Amino acid sequence: MGRLAGGLAIATSVASCSFHLRDSPPTPTPDAIDPGTDAAIQGDLLIEAEAFTQNVQPPSQTNAWVVTTTPAGYRGTALVKCGPMTGVGCPNDSNLDSCASHLIYDVAVVAPTTLHVHVRGLATSSSDDSVWYGIDGVAAPAEINFVQDSIWHYGTGDQAFVLAPGAHTVTLWQRECGVCIDQIALTVGATAPP
């Protein structure tokens, strides 16, 4: 399995929106990838934000996640941005599925594990500096916030998730429209990748 500094495997998508490990050895070990799932976690996993399985826009919302290549400084082939950039969003987590456009990522856990969620984002002000996150459709009670300096940074969620082996989903919900997301890191340790 390909690894970055800090032990992160890299997941990316193709037209079918499934995850494939990039920079992998020609024959990955059987316990590293479950062929019946999109991305299997045996350690830390790095997901490109544009590699979502589903992009959901509630019928009542005009806000939507779009794949783009601006602003610069993203990693991988693109980033996702919630637009239009009005700062309007969902200020609390009580009704996210109807209030917030959201991105869903399929993953599979190979063994029981506790994972921390980190999101690489870019914020320019308090109107575009946070995102809701969750596992298996359940949102964490607090959002992930980003530094408001127009530079890409990882924000780390306060909640760790205990997961059993098998299929799971990671969801990012807009909190403010205008937020830019580049990568999602799922790590065994609480420290964000560089």
Q: Give the global pTM.
A: 0.80
Q: Which residues pair with 153 in a beta bridge?
A: 121
- Closest among 183, 178, 186, 174 to 153, alpha carbons compared: 183
- Domains detected in the chain: 8-187 (2.60.120.260)
CA distance 132 to 92: 9
* Separation CA 45–CA 30 (nearest Å): 17
Q: Is the pLDDT of residue 106 over 90?
A: yes
Is 70 exceeded by the pLDDT of residue 141?
A: yes
Q: Does the bond joining 141 to the residue before it have cis omega, within 30 degrees of 0?
A: no
Q: Which helix (H) or strand (E) holds 171?
A: strand 166-174
State pLDDT tens for residues 108-138: 999 999 999 999 999 999 989 999 999 999 9
∠46-115-65 over CA atoms, to 5°? Answer: 50
> Tens digit of pLDDT for each residue in 3-58?
333 444 444 333 333 333 333 333 322 233 233 344 556 679 999 999 999 999 98
